[in-house]
Amino acid sequence: MSKRLITPEDLLQLRSVTSPALSNDGEHVVYVETTLHEEKDTYAAELVMTSPHNPDQNQYLTHGGYINKLPRWSPVGEALAFISNRTGTNQLYTLSSWGEPKQLTEEKKGVNDFRWSPDGKTIAYSSTQYPEEEKENDKPEPLVVNKMKYKSDASGFWQGEYVHIFTVEIESGKHTQLTDGAISYTLLDWTADSEQLVISSVNEENTDFIFSNDLLLLSVEKKEFIQLTNQTHVISDASASPDGRYLAVRAHERDYENATHFEIYLLEIATNEWTKLTGDWDVQLGPVVAADFLQNTVDPGLVWSGDSRSMTFLVSEQGTVGLYKLTTDGKKEAILTGHAHVYGFSILADGSSLVAGINHVAHPGDLYLIQSGEERKRLTTSNDDVLDELEVVQAEEIRFQQEEGHELQGWLMKPAGFNEKETYPLIVEIHGGPHAMYANSYMHEFQTLTARGFAVLFINPRGSLGYGQEFVNAVRGDYGGGDYRDIMAALDYVLKQYSWIDESRLGVTGGSYGGFMTNWIVGHTNRFKAAVTQRSISNWTSFYGVSDIGYYFTEWQIQADLNDTDKLWKHSPLAYVNQIETPLLILHGEKDYRCPIEQAEQLYIALKRREKTTTFIRFPEANHELSRSGKPSLRLKRLDAIGKWFEQYL
């Protein structure tokens, strides 16, 4: 049977299978299955339970088309807790005996995250709180701004809200607020005795120039803090050992600002003695893949073994995300590696069973059971019926030595229906960040382009994570320099190696930093016959003041501020607008606070004023996450616009 070509609309048929949670006895796995709802133009995420021993018997634990996420088993018994928006806001629920879920919270602004206590009697959760009641009227209110960090691409304008920590007792339903005041807290874990919470915070009211956070222990009974750090680290995760002796902490000391690799530290609670366990390991600890398909993924963080001798976690390196174990004396062991993207896992305390979510370029992802001495066992087949109908394109890995002395890694995808006797146009894709990583991971955008007859080249230029600290830091202060040369070197390499690529029909596209680089490329070469820039940066001088991260990101990355506008302008693609001859499609979300739409407006007007070939598409209500989690209808229109632009000019 001949297979059909992938279309943008196939996003509506494919299912994202994520967030596996393995029960304590290893008999059940609960996971999140996310789909796009065309009629409601939204997403639905249901909890599904399967058995590692009989994966054909799936049971949907939730229904109704809401977002149900973060399934977590009680450490004691068979109760399951999760977050759902079925009442309109994210609230905490428990489920036992697979009956109806029981709602535990009624927070006005919902629940952000939660953790079971080790004794299974209590759940700690975090919730956004406002210092005073909001005014409920239809009249617009002015926003009074007194801080620099006053807006966020994720949450909009700051209006006095802070995140606080609560507990709820499972049996009595009693709620207790543990923190208050004009400080936000992040919930990380419980200590082994169920008496203290591990949290992080910035113990300052004015955080405009503070980018580290502190690690704290919070007594649940007394509501008293023990401060373990003093603004020395950026802390992304901490988990307590089952024996109560240690905290495993993933953190860094901002040696290279936001380009700094995380390390794993062992903190002895009794003495507050810190030991760095990963000082000789030059990799990125945690998942950092640039992708557009998976929904409701969760980084499990540092997961302790039951004997408190080791921890398991995800590692990004060399275009893959794998699973590693690290002992308390610093010995590393690869558990699950290979040419794939491990995007989540759940492991039994004794390490005998592991369930992992794995995908690769030609497969959106499924859950697999891994047991000692046994072959990997596939537990889900959520997309098999759709994939059986589609021509899904694999990718060929490329590696080559750049003339400047470092190795580059990338992937080349041939067009669907490839015929070696024909020649084909090529599109170069550039990821955002710039501190992210393309991986052997499914990208629906890439598949839709190959279905239209384009080859796709995607690489990790300097600045990308996964290739060592020196490599990721090399882009800072040099945007449009070595990173640009890396991308062009990759293009030259594939043109030399693959004669079927038509050098006269080249396209380029990317979003965020990838949009910046697209703008930069068309201002510095006419090799490309078409380009699509997405949620891009065109002018660092204005970006400094309008982005939610503008003033500090610009200082960290361009290494200049408004006292050095010459350097800001030198690295701004808008400065080279007179040299742009490539037909350029500009895509941008109107609610993008990360790279505000004025960046696109400036570029568009400058091009039109010079009578250059360009079109500007504005996506209403869309923020910086349009391509990944925007409204389904807009995501489809975006993919269609990209494909049609390249078809028109290539």
Q: Which residues are catalytic?
A: 512, 624
Task: State how far the Cα of 54 lies from the Cα of 67, in Å rounded to an integer.
Answer: 26
Instruction: Enter the tokens of residue 50.
Output: 């399967």
Residue 471: in which H helix or E strand, if any?
helix 469-473
The count of other CB atoms within 10 Å of the CB of residue 543 is 24
Task: State how far the Cα of 631 lies from the Cα of 634, in Å rounded to an integer.
Answer: 5
Task: State how far the Cα of 438 lies from the Cα of 158, in Å rounded to an integer.
Answer: 32
Report whether 535 contacts 543 (CB < 8 A): no
Sign of torsion over alpha carbons 447, 448, 449, 455: positive
Report whether 214 contacts 230 (CB < 8 A): yes
Torsion angle defined by CA atoms of residues 456, 462, 466 and 469, in that order, rounded to the nearest 10 degrees: 180
Secondary structure class of 201 (helix, strand, coil): strand
Nearest to 83 by CA among 107, 111, 59: 111
Nearest to 118 by CA among 328, 349, 351: 349
Report whether 487 contacts 459 (CB < 8 A): yes
Sheet holding 29-37, edge to edge: 16-22, 29-37, 42-50, 59-60
Task: State how far the Cα of 187 lies from the Cα of 164, in Å rounded to an integer.
Answer: 9
Q: DSSP per residue over 402-447, as a string?
A: -TTS-EEEEEEEPPTT--TTS-EEEEEEE-SSSS-B--S---HHHH
Instruction: Enter the tokens of residue 386.
Output: 């759709």
Residue 439: alpha-carbon gap to chain centroid: 13
Residue 11: alpha-carbon gap to chain centroid: 19
- Sorted by sequence, the CB contacts under 8 Å of residue 399 that are 6+ apart come out as 407, 408, 409, 410
- Residues found in the chain: 650
The owner of tokens 């599109």 is 427
Torsion angle defined by CA atoms of residues 239, 242, 245 and 250, in that order, rounded to the nearest 10 degrees: -20
Q: DSSP per residue over 611-644, as a string?
A: T--EEEEEETT--TTHHHHS-HHHHHHHHHHHHH
